[in-house]
Amino acid sequence: MSLDAKVQEPETKRISRRNILKAAVAAGGAAVLGFPMIAKGQAGPVTMRWQSTWPQKDIFHEFALDFAKKVNEMSGGDL
């Protein structure tokens, strides 16, 4: 063997945006397929009761009532 012989190095895989995106799409697809679809039952609305230490005429109590009203509107009356 001569010293002038070229040593072939193993070819390294290039990291590119396309390879990263392919891996991300594959991981996302696997995650979606790995979790089953869970359907919401016909249980009806969920009722939550909260207790506050603020007096009824306090501004924080009014804020809490406004928040509860907005949550009720956003959930379509289910919460």
pLDDT (tens, 9 = 90+) of the chain, 79 residues, equals: 555 556 666 666 677 888 888 888 888 777 777 776 666 666 677 788 888 888 888 999 999 999 989 998 998 888 7
- Give the pLDDT confidence score for residue 10 in this predicted structure: 65
Write down the pTM of the prediction: 0.42
Residue 19 has a pLDDT of 84
Q: So where are the chain's domains? A: 43-79
Determine contact, residues 79/72, Cβ cutoff 8 Å. Answer: yes
- Which residue carries 């390879």 as its tokens? 19
Residue 70: its pLDDT value, please? Answer: 94
pLDDT given for residue 39 in this prediction = 65
